[in-house]
Protein backbone atom coordinates (compact mmCIF):
# COMPACT_ATOMS: atom_id res chain seq x y z
CA UNK A 1 0.00 0.00 0.00
CA UNK A 2 3.03 2.29 -0.01
CA UNK A 3 1.85 3.93 -3.26
CA UNK A 4 -1.70 4.62 -2.07
CA UNK A 5 -1.49 8.37 -2.60
CA UNK A 6 0.15 7.91 -5.97
CA UNK A 7 -2.89 5.95 -7.12
CA UNK A 8 -5.32 8.41 -5.56
CA UNK A 9 -3.90 11.50 -7.11
CA UNK A 10 -2.93 10.37 -10.54
CA UNK A 11 -5.45 11.07 -11.71
CA UNK A 12 0.99 13.18 -30.93
CA UNK A 13 0.69 16.09 -28.50
CA UNK A 14 -1.50 19.10 -29.12
CA UNK A 15 -1.06 20.06 -25.45
CA UNK A 16 1.00 23.22 -25.10
CA UNK A 17 2.46 24.55 -21.87
CA UNK A 18 2.93 28.25 -21.26
CA UNK A 19 3.27 30.40 -18.18
CA UNK A 20 1.13 29.63 -15.18
CA UNK A 21 -2.37 30.92 -15.87
CA UNK A 22 -4.39 28.40 -13.82
CA UNK A 23 -2.89 28.05 -10.35
CA UNK A 24 -3.39 30.79 -7.75
CA UNK A 25 -1.49 31.48 -4.54
CA UNK A 26 -4.33 30.78 -2.10
CA UNK A 27 -6.23 27.87 -3.62
CA UNK A 28 -7.76 25.08 -1.55
CA UNK A 29 -9.44 22.02 -3.05
CA UNK A 30 -11.01 19.38 -0.82
CA UNK A 31 -12.00 15.89 -2.00
CA UNK A 32 -13.68 12.81 -0.60
CA UNK A 33 -11.86 9.56 -1.37
CA UNK A 34 -13.90 6.37 -1.70
CA UNK A 35 -12.78 2.77 -2.05
CA UNK A 36 -14.63 -0.34 -3.12
CA UNK A 37 -14.94 -2.46 0.03
CA UNK A 38 -16.76 -5.79 -0.24
CA UNK A 39 -18.50 -4.60 -3.40
CA UNK A 40 -19.63 -1.27 -1.96
CA UNK A 41 -18.03 2.10 -2.75
CA UNK A 42 -17.30 3.51 0.71
CA UNK A 43 -16.03 6.99 1.57
CA UNK A 44 -12.95 6.46 3.73
CA UNK A 45 -10.70 9.53 3.52
CA UNK A 46 -10.28 13.20 2.70
CA UNK A 47 -7.72 14.55 0.25
CA UNK A 48 -6.74 18.22 0.30
CA UNK A 49 -4.75 20.24 -2.23
CA UNK A 50 -3.57 23.71 -1.16
CA UNK A 51 -1.32 26.43 -2.52
CA UNK A 52 0.44 29.26 -0.70
CA UNK A 53 3.20 31.79 -1.29
CA UNK A 54 6.56 31.24 0.42
CA UNK A 55 9.23 33.94 0.51
CA UNK A 56 12.91 33.03 0.79
CA UNK A 57 15.92 35.31 1.11
CA UNK A 58 16.29 35.43 -2.66
CA UNK A 59 12.93 34.62 -4.24
CA UNK A 60 9.24 33.90 -3.86
CA UNK A 61 8.05 30.33 -4.39
CA UNK A 62 4.67 28.68 -4.69
CA UNK A 63 4.08 25.89 -2.19
CA UNK A 64 1.93 23.02 -3.49
CA UNK A 65 0.66 20.92 -0.60
CA UNK A 66 -1.31 17.69 -0.93
CA UNK A 67 -2.47 15.64 2.03
CA UNK A 68 -4.57 12.53 2.57
CA UNK A 69 -6.09 11.30 5.83
CA UNK A 70 -8.51 8.50 6.57
CA UNK A 71 -11.54 9.36 8.67
CA UNK A 72 -11.17 8.41 12.34
CA UNK A 73 -13.77 5.65 11.95
CA UNK A 74 -11.42 3.87 9.52
CA UNK A 75 -8.14 4.50 11.35
CA UNK A 76 -8.35 1.19 13.21
CA UNK A 77 -8.67 -0.62 9.86
CA UNK A 78 -5.88 1.16 7.98
CA UNK A 79 -4.74 4.60 9.13
CA UNK A 80 -3.37 6.98 6.49
CA UNK A 81 -1.70 10.32 7.17
CA UNK A 82 0.20 11.29 4.02
CA UNK A 83 1.74 14.65 3.19
CA UNK A 84 3.29 15.72 -0.12
CA UNK A 85 4.80 19.17 -0.75
CA UNK A 86 6.46 20.77 -3.75
CA UNK A 87 8.06 24.23 -3.83
CA UNK A 88 7.95 25.59 -7.36
CA UNK A 89 8.39 28.67 -9.50
CA UNK A 90 5.09 30.63 -9.44
CA UNK A 91 5.38 31.30 -13.18
CA UNK A 92 6.67 28.05 -14.69
CA UNK A 93 5.75 25.60 -11.88
CA UNK A 94 9.30 24.19 -12.11
CA UNK A 95 10.07 22.36 -8.83
CA UNK A 96 13.05 23.19 -6.62
CA UNK A 97 12.23 21.23 -3.45
CA UNK A 98 9.95 18.27 -2.84
CA UNK A 99 9.02 16.55 0.41
CA UNK A 100 7.01 13.42 1.03
CA UNK A 101 6.01 12.16 4.49
CA UNK A 102 4.17 8.82 4.40
CA UNK A 103 2.34 7.27 7.35
CA UNK A 104 0.21 4.32 6.24
CA UNK A 105 -0.55 1.72 8.90
CA UNK A 106 2.84 0.63 10.23
CA UNK A 107 4.66 1.92 7.15
CA UNK A 108 6.51 5.21 7.68
CA UNK A 109 8.77 6.96 5.21
CA UNK A 110 10.17 10.44 4.59
CA UNK A 111 11.62 11.57 1.28
CA UNK A 112 13.14 14.84 0.10
CA UNK A 113 14.37 15.96 -3.33
CA UNK A 114 16.46 19.03 -4.10
CA UNK A 115 16.35 19.72 -7.84
CA UNK A 116 19.26 21.14 -9.80
CA UNK A 117 17.82 21.47 -13.29
CA UNK A 118 20.99 22.93 -14.77
CA UNK A 119 23.02 19.82 -13.92
CA UNK A 120 19.95 17.56 -14.23
CA UNK A 121 20.61 16.18 -10.77
CA UNK A 122 18.47 15.57 -7.69
CA UNK A 123 19.88 15.32 -4.18
CA UNK A 124 17.69 12.69 -2.56
CA UNK A 125 17.26 11.92 1.13
CA UNK A 126 15.13 8.98 2.24
CA UNK A 127 14.35 7.92 5.81
CA UNK A 128 12.55 4.78 6.90
CA UNK A 129 11.44 3.95 10.43
CA UNK A 130 12.49 0.57 11.74
CA UNK A 131 12.18 -1.04 15.16
CA UNK A 132 15.96 -0.97 15.35
CA UNK A 133 16.01 2.76 14.57
CA UNK A 134 15.61 5.13 11.64
CA UNK A 135 17.55 4.37 8.47
CA UNK A 136 18.69 7.21 6.20
CA UNK A 137 19.76 6.92 2.59
CA UNK A 138 21.32 9.72 0.53
CA UNK A 139 21.59 9.58 -3.25
CA UNK A 140 22.29 11.74 -6.26
CA UNK A 141 19.82 10.89 -9.01
CA UNK A 142 20.33 11.93 -12.62
CA UNK A 143 17.13 13.15 -14.26
CA UNK A 144 15.89 14.22 -17.68
CA UNK A 145 15.41 17.82 -18.81
CA UNK A 146 11.70 17.90 -17.95
CA UNK A 147 11.53 15.58 -14.94
CA UNK A 148 9.42 16.86 -12.07
CA UNK A 149 8.04 15.48 -8.84
CA UNK A 150 4.56 13.96 -8.50
CA UNK A 151 2.83 17.01 -7.02
CA UNK A 152 4.21 19.59 -9.46
CA UNK A 153 3.33 17.21 -12.31
CA UNK A 154 -0.33 17.21 -11.23
CA UNK A 155 -0.44 21.01 -11.17
CA UNK A 156 1.56 21.19 -14.40
CA UNK A 157 -1.12 19.14 -16.18
CA UNK A 158 -3.72 21.66 -15.04
CA UNK A 159 -1.75 24.38 -16.79
CA UNK A 160 -1.81 22.69 -20.20
CA UNK A 161 -3.67 24.29 -23.11
CA UNK A 162 -6.07 21.36 -23.26
CA UNK A 163 -8.57 23.33 -25.34
CA UNK A 164 -6.16 22.94 -28.28
CA UNK A 165 -6.18 19.12 -28.05
CA UNK A 166 -8.22 16.76 -30.21
CA UNK A 167 -9.75 13.48 -28.98
CA UNK A 168 -7.00 10.87 -28.90
CA UNK A 169 -4.14 13.35 -28.46
CA UNK A 170 -1.77 12.37 -25.67
CA UNK A 171 1.40 13.48 -23.94
CA UNK A 172 3.95 11.87 -21.63
CA UNK A 173 5.23 13.45 -18.42
CA UNK A 174 8.20 12.20 -16.43
CA UNK A 175 8.29 12.46 -12.65
CA UNK A 176 10.58 11.15 -9.93
CA UNK A 177 9.04 8.75 -7.40
CA UNK A 178 11.00 6.54 -4.97
CA UNK A 179 14.16 7.70 -6.82
CA UNK A 180 12.80 6.29 -10.10
CA UNK A 181 11.70 8.21 -13.17
CA UNK A 182 8.13 7.19 -14.00
CA UNK A 183 6.30 8.09 -17.19
CA UNK A 184 2.74 9.36 -16.90
CA UNK A 185 0.64 9.35 -20.06
CA UNK A 186 -2.32 11.73 -20.31
CA UNK A 187 -4.78 11.20 -23.18
CA UNK A 188 -7.57 13.61 -24.04
CA UNK A 189 -10.85 11.75 -24.57
CA UNK A 190 -13.56 14.37 -24.93
CA UNK A 191 -15.53 17.10 -23.23
CA UNK A 192 -18.24 15.96 -20.84
CA UNK A 193 -20.62 17.81 -18.53
CA UNK A 194 -21.01 16.25 -15.07
CA UNK A 195 -22.76 17.14 -11.81
CA UNK A 196 -20.45 17.86 -8.87
CA UNK A 197 -20.70 19.22 -5.33
CA UNK A 198 -19.69 22.63 -6.69
CA UNK A 199 -22.27 22.59 -9.47
CA UNK A 200 -22.70 21.22 -12.97
CA UNK A 201 -19.40 21.55 -14.82
CA UNK A 202 -18.28 21.11 -18.42
CA UNK A 203 -15.06 19.12 -18.14
CA UNK A 204 -12.10 17.82 -20.06
CA UNK A 205 -12.16 14.04 -19.74
CA UNK A 206 -8.63 12.60 -19.56
CA UNK A 207 -7.34 9.01 -19.41
CA UNK A 208 -4.34 8.53 -17.12
CA UNK A 209 -1.84 5.68 -17.31
CA UNK A 210 1.69 4.84 -16.17
CA UNK A 211 3.98 3.45 -18.85
CA UNK A 212 6.66 1.85 -16.68
CA UNK A 213 4.86 1.08 -13.42
CA UNK A 214 1.94 -1.17 -12.51
CA UNK A 215 0.34 0.98 -9.78
CA UNK A 216 -2.57 1.81 -12.09
CA UNK A 217 -4.41 -1.06 -13.76
CA UNK A 218 -6.59 -1.49 -16.86
CA UNK A 219 -7.11 0.44 -20.07
CA UNK A 220 -9.11 3.66 -19.72
CA UNK A 221 -10.01 2.63 -16.15
CA UNK A 222 -8.24 5.64 -14.64
CA UNK A 223 -10.09 8.78 -15.69
CA UNK A 224 -9.72 12.39 -14.57
CA UNK A 225 -12.23 15.19 -15.15
CA UNK A 226 -10.86 18.77 -15.17
CA UNK A 227 -13.17 21.76 -15.47
CA UNK A 228 -13.08 23.15 -19.02
CA UNK A 229 -12.37 26.69 -17.84
CA UNK A 230 -9.34 28.79 -16.99
CA UNK A 231 -8.83 27.09 -13.61
CA UNK A 232 -8.97 23.48 -14.87
CA UNK A 233 -9.63 22.12 -11.40
CA UNK A 234 -9.98 18.34 -10.89
CA UNK A 235 -13.57 17.62 -9.87
CA UNK A 236 -13.82 13.85 -10.27
CA UNK A 237 -11.47 10.92 -10.76
CA UNK A 238 -11.86 7.17 -10.80
CA UNK A 239 -8.98 4.75 -10.48
CA UNK A 240 -8.19 1.06 -10.56
CA UNK A 241 -5.28 -0.44 -8.64
CA UNK A 242 -4.14 -3.99 -7.91
CA UNK A 243 -6.26 -4.29 -4.76
CA UNK A 244 -9.45 -2.66 -6.03
CA UNK A 245 -11.13 0.44 -7.41
CA UNK A 246 -12.01 3.85 -6.05
CA UNK A 247 -12.85 7.45 -6.82
CA UNK A 248 -12.22 11.04 -5.81
CA UNK A 249 -15.01 13.62 -5.70
CA UNK A 250 -14.56 17.31 -5.09
CA UNK A 251 -16.24 18.69 -1.96
CA UNK A 252 -15.19 22.35 -2.10
CA UNK A 253 -12.99 24.77 -4.04
CA UNK A 254 -11.88 28.19 -2.76
CA UNK A 255 -9.26 30.80 -3.63
CA UNK A 256 -9.32 30.05 -7.37
CA UNK A 257 -7.09 32.14 -9.63
CA UNK A 258 -9.77 32.86 -12.25
Burial 114-125 (b: 16+ CB within 10 A, else e): ebeeeeeebebe
pLDDT value for 238: 93
Long-range own/partner contacts, residues 170-173 (CB < 8 A, 24 or more apart): 170/12, 170/13, 171/12, 171/13, 171/15, 172/211, 173/146, 173/148
Phi/psi at 73 (nearest 5 deg)?
-70, -20
Q: Going by DSSP bridges, is the β-strand pair 244-254/81-88 parallel, antiparallel, or unpaired?
A: unpaired
| Arithmetic mean of pLDDT over the chain | 89
Q: SS3 of 19, please?
A: coil
How far is it, in rounded angstroms, from Cα 218 to Cα 209? 9
Residues 238, 242, 246: CA angle, nearest 5 degrees: 25
Query: Would you put residue 168 in left (φ > 0), alpha (ψ -120 to 50) or beta?
Result: left
Q: Which helix (H) or strand (E) holds 150?
A: helix 150-158
Phi/psi at 162 (nearest 5 deg)?
-65, -25
Q: For the segment 221-252, what is each residue's pLDDT rounded down to a tens digit?
A: 899 999 999 999 999 999 887 677 889 999 99
Q: For the segment 196-214, what is each residue's pLDDT rounded down to a tens digit?
A: 999 999 999 999 988 877 7
Confidence of residue 52 (pLDDT cuts 50, 70, 90): very high
Q: What is the pTM of this model?
A: 0.89
pLDDT value for 133: 73
Bridge partner list, 83: 67, 101
Q: For the segment 134-148, what is each residue's pLDDT rounded down to a tens digit?
A: 899 999 999 999 999
Q: Of residues 47 and 219, which shows the higher confidence score?
A: 47
C-alpha distance from residue 17 to each of 36, 156, 170, 182 (Å): 36, 8, 13, 20
Q: For the segment 125-136, what is each residue's pLDDT rounded down to a tens digit?
A: 999 887 777 899
How far is it, in rounded angstroms, from Cα 8 to Cα 29? 14
pLDDT value for 18: 62
pLDDT value for 245: 84
Q: Where are the domains of the chain?
A: 4-254
pLDDT value for 16: 52
How far is it, in rounded angstroms, from Cα 66 to Cα 115? 19
C-alpha distance from residue 231 to each of 6, 27, 168, 172, 210 (Å): 23, 10, 22, 21, 25
pLDDT value for 93: 95
The predicted model gives 63-85 an average pLDDT of 95
Question: 4-254 has which CATH code?
Answer: 2.40.360
How far is it, in rounded angstroms, from Cα 27 to Cα 51? 5
pLDDT value for 11: 44
Under DSSP, the state recorded for 1 is -
Least confident segment among 4-18, 28-42, 133-147, 210-224? 4-18
Q: Is the pLDDT of residue 2 over 60?
A: no
Q: Of residues 41 and 115, which shows the higher confidence score?
A: 115
Amino acid sequence: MKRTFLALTLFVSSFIVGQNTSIGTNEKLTFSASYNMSGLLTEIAQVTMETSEVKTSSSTLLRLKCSAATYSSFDSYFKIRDLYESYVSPTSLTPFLYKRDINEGTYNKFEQYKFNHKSRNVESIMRKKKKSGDLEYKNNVKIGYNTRDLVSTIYHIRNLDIHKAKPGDSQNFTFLFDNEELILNVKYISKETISTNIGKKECYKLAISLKNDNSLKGNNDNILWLTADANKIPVYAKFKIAVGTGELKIKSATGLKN
